Amino acid sequence: TPRTPSTPRTPRTPRTPVDVYRQAQHLFHRSATPGQLVGRQAERQALMAFLRRPCFDDDAGIHIVPDAAEQHVRGALYISGVPGTGKTGLVRECVAADGAGTATDGRAWKVAFVNCMDVGDPKAIFAHAAAQWTGQPLSAVPVADGLPLCESLLLPGHHASAAHEKDRAQAAPTPGPARPSTAYLMVLDECDQLLTRSQDVLYKLFGWPHVPGARLVLIGIANALDMSERMLPRLKAKNAMPRHLHFRPYGSREIADIIRGRLMTLSPSARSARSTTPRGPSAVPLMQDAAIEFCARKMAGLGDLRRALDVARYALAALEKEHVARADATSGDGGGKGSLVTVGHVLRVTSMTTANQSALQRLKALTLVQKSVLALLASAAPWPPARLTVRALADHYAARYQRGDVLVPLTHTEMDDVLSGLEATGLIMLQS
């Protein structure tokens, strides 16, 4: 039966407009700051305990921590972990949370956060830190002045002249409450970029927190598990090794939670597009639960959260492209079926990213420790045996490099991390 003529309708506003897709894609950019990091509770607690542990004294300098079993002071921490494990982000979050720039013992924090890849000459690190602590532009602090300026701030008792120390000792005490002294925090991201032949710069930086009267708390961040032990052996001889906090690669459950958490920060209008699960509608917009789980499992082998976020962003971009094409074909109504990222979207993105990297490129991208483990696996018979465990491989590796100068034995946990990274490249396969 012919339909009764009616007034043409104005095209409906798309239920998931293009700006919503772009808003979602922005959440997965590497430069995005989505708020509190999801997961990493053990690492968060360790970092906050390190930042809040009292270690300064106006007269005696740094206190040894109360626990006699610990041989380290609060003043130096080395953080290791493969790229994309949240090291830098969590440090920034914890520093910001620690009293918004005020140390918990009542002293004001002055923070210098330096990415060492931007420094160039390792000796310029002192000028970068001094500029941030004093509030000057970097151009106003010559490289040659950086070291003495840092010493005057961090080691006032050692840097001051003898006459000044004598005058201060003879001066009458000032009435009234004592003014709290300043504590300086230096965070060195990618600190392995400061490695030199003599390692003078790193020895000085990691040695400063152990100087009596020093006002420095140092956090170094890098990828290598054993940089401080392997490249800075004199620290151990001086009982000045930094505390070590290792970030394990993200697991699939953590990656999935992070993706869901970012999508849930979308505006209320964006949350109208949700997937449906056997238990009812999902709380997460724009991506099917199955697609999130598939993306997390696919990227968990890499342990690099940034790669998982890239895949989610590319999948959302593909969905936006489909939405625009569908909207053009339907006079502006692009909503409805197909408005969610599916497993198919994620599969296409991951297939494209892995196919673009050859085996040679993957080998060149390996760390020295990963290459040494791979070489051990590929060595002649009777090694490796037909069935090999992580424990057995770690023991064999330790025997091979027991007295090595460059390569040192790995713990079973460290070997597990190295093997997970190799599996992520597709060069080996692990079985439970």
Residue 263 within a domain: yes
Residue 339, CA atoms < 13 Å, CB-side half-sphere:
21
Residue-level pLDDT at 355: 58
Question: Do both 61 and 154 map to the same domain?
Answer: yes
Whether residue 55 contacts residue 77, with contact meaning beta carbons closer than 8 Å, is answered with no
Question: Do both 101 and 119 map to the same domain?
Answer: yes
Residue-level pLDDT at 151: 92
Rounded (10°) CA dihedral 29, 313, 272, 277: -130
Residue 106 within a domain: yes
Residue 208 within a domain: yes
Residue 186 within a domain: yes
Question: Do both 255 and 240 map to the same domain?
Answer: no
Residue-level pLDDT at 360: 73
Pairing assessment for the beta strands 56-57 and 61-62 based on DSSP bridges: antiparallel
Those residues whose C-beta lies under 8 Å from the C-beta of residue 91, and which sit 6 or more positions away, are: 47, 79, 187, 219, 221
Residue 226 within a domain: yes
Question: Do both 264 and 344 map to the same domain?
Answer: yes
The per-residue pLDDT string of the chain (432 residues; one tens digit each, 9 = 90 and over) reads: 555 554 444 444 444 467 888 889 999 987 777 667 777 889 999 999 888 874 544 333 333 333 333 434 458 899 998 888 889 989 999 988 875 445 555 556 789 999 998 888 999 999 999 999 999 999 999 999 999 999 999 887 655 443 344 443 444 444 444 344 678 999 999 998 888 888 889 999 998 998 888 889 999 999 888 888 788 888 887 888 888 999 988 889 999 999 999 999 886 655 555 544 444 455 788 999 999 999 999 888 777 888 899 999 999 999 988 888 877 666 555 444 447 899 989 988 887 766 566 667 778 778 888 888 998 888 755 655 667 788 888 888 888 888 766 788 888 888 887 887 777 666 777 765
Residue 257 within a domain: yes
Question: Do both 397 and 300 map to the same domain?
Answer: no
Angle (nearest 5°) at CA 39 between 421 and 47: 90
Residue 4 within a domain: no
| Residue 77, φ and ψ in degrees, nearest 5 | -140, 135
Residue-level pLDDT at 432: 54
The alpha-carbon radius of gyration of the chain (Å, integer) is 27
Question: Do both 149 and 242 map to the same domain?
Answer: yes
Count: domains in the chain: 3
Preceding amide of 66 cis, omega within 30: no
Residue with tokens 């959440």: 27
Q: Tell which of 331, 356, 381 closes a domain.
A: 356
Residue-level pLDDT at 129: 95
Question: Do both 320 and 195 map to the same domain?
Answer: no
At residue 218, the 3 state secondary structure works out as strand
Question: Do both 372 and 345 map to the same domain?
Answer: no
The span from the CA of 22 to the CA of 47, in Å, is 34
Question: Do both 233 and 156 map to the same domain?
Answer: yes
Q: Tell which of 356, 377, 395 closes a domain.
A: 356
The CATH number of whichever domain residue 52 belongs to comes to 3.40.50.300
Preceding amide of 285 cis, omega within 30: no
Residue 32 within a domain: no
Q: Which domain holds residue 107?
A: 41-160+181-246
Question: Do both 417 and 298 map to the same domain?
Answer: no
Residue-level pLDDT at 380: 53
Q: Tell which of 298, 321, 356 closes a domain.
A: 356
Question: Do both 203 and 342 map to the same domain?
Answer: no
Question: Do both 228 and 274 map to the same domain?
Answer: no
